[in-house]
Amino acid sequence: DGGITQSPKYLFRKEGQNVTLSCEQNLNHDAMYWYRQDPGQGLRLIYYSQIVNDFQKGDIAEGYSVSREKKESFPLTVTSAQKNPTAFYLCASSSRDEQYFGPGTRLTVT
Amino acid sequence: EDKVVQSPLSLVVHEGDTVTLNCSYEVTNFRSLLWYKQEKKAPTFLFMLTSSGIEKKSGRLSSILDKKELFSILNITATQTGDSAVYLCAVEDRDDKIIFGKGTRLHILP
C-alpha cells in the first residue's frame, strides 16, 4: 500500500523541549510539505522540499526546522523557540498530478 | 502577496440541494488548483485543475477553473448528509509551493 505515514498520532511535551515529528512516504514523490492547522486558520505552510537535500521556508517557518536527507522522509522539529507549538501538524507529498496528506500529528505542549 | 480566498465561509443547506463553493486566487506562476474535503483530520484529495474551461467530474461533485478570471467553483448536486465537511481550495505555483484558503464549512441538514 502506497501512502504517507506520520507518527505519533498524539504527542505531549513540556514547554522548552524540542520535539521531532516523523513523516514518511513510499509514493516516490519528489516534493514534501509540512502544514500546521489551527482552528479558524486553515492550513498554513511551515516548510516544503522539492528534492532531497533541499528545502524552503513556508509562511510560518520561525521556530521550526526540517531535514530532507532521504526522498522518503521529511521530519519536522518543533523547537523551544516556537511560541505557540500546540497544533495539528499535517505532512503531505506530491507529484505533478496528485497530492496526498498523512493522517496528522496532534502536538500538545504544556 | 499570494492568496487564496474561499466563499462562503460556511453554508447550511437541506439534503438534496445543489451547492456551489467558490475559490478565487492571486498567485504568481500558477500551476494548478486543488480541491480537498476535510471531515475530521487529514484532507482527502478531490480534484486537481490545470486548464481553463475543462470540467472535472466525480460522481455528484464537479469543478471547473477559469484562469482568466482567477477562480474555480466546486459544485455538489443532490447533496447528502455525508457531504458535510470543510472544503479546502489550494493553489500550487511552479516552485511547488501550495497556498490554502481558509475553507468553506458545509453542513447538510437531513
Q: Are B63 and B46 in contact, with CB atoms under 8 Å apart?
A: yes
pLDDT at B40 over 80: no
Substitution target from A38, A43, A45, A88 for chain B, most B beta carbons within 10 A: A43
Q: Is 90 exceeded by the pLDDT of residue A96?
A: no
Q: Does A26 touch chain B (CB under 8 A)?
A: no
For residue B20, what pLDDT band results from cuts at 50, 70 and 90?
very high
Q: Which residues contact B104 (CB under 8 A, 6 or more apart)?
A: B6, B7, B8, B9, B10, B11, B21, B22, B86, B87
Cβ within 8 Å, pair B92-A94? yes
Indicate the DSSP class of residue B9.
S
Listed ranges A93-107, B46-60, B68-82, B84-98; the one with the highest mean pLDDT: B68-82
- CB neighbours of B57 closer than 8 A, spacing ≥ 6? none
Average pLDDT of A5-29? 92
Query: Is the pLDDT at A44 greater than 80, yes or no?
Result: yes
Weakest-pLDDT range from A75-89, B10-24, B54-68, B88-102: B88-102
Residue B94 has pLDDT above 90, yes or no: no
Report CB contact under 8 Å: A42, B97: no
Contact B102 A104 (CB under 8 A): no
**Cβ separation of A103 and B41 shorter than 8 Å?**
yes
Is beta strand A99-101 parallel, antiparallel or unpaired with respect to A4-7? unpaired
Instruction: Give the mean pLDDT of chain B.
Output: 91
Give the Cβ contact number of residue B13 at 10 Å.
Answer: 16
Position A104 scores a pLDDT of: 86
A104 and chain B in contact, CB less than 8 A:
yes
Q: State how far the Cα of A110 lies from the Cα of A89, in Å rounded to an integer.
A: 17
Q: In this predicted structure, which of A29-33, A53-57, A106-110, B39-43 has the lowest mean pLDDT?
A: B39-43
Q: Is A45 left (phi over 0), alpha (psi -120 to 50) or beta?
A: beta
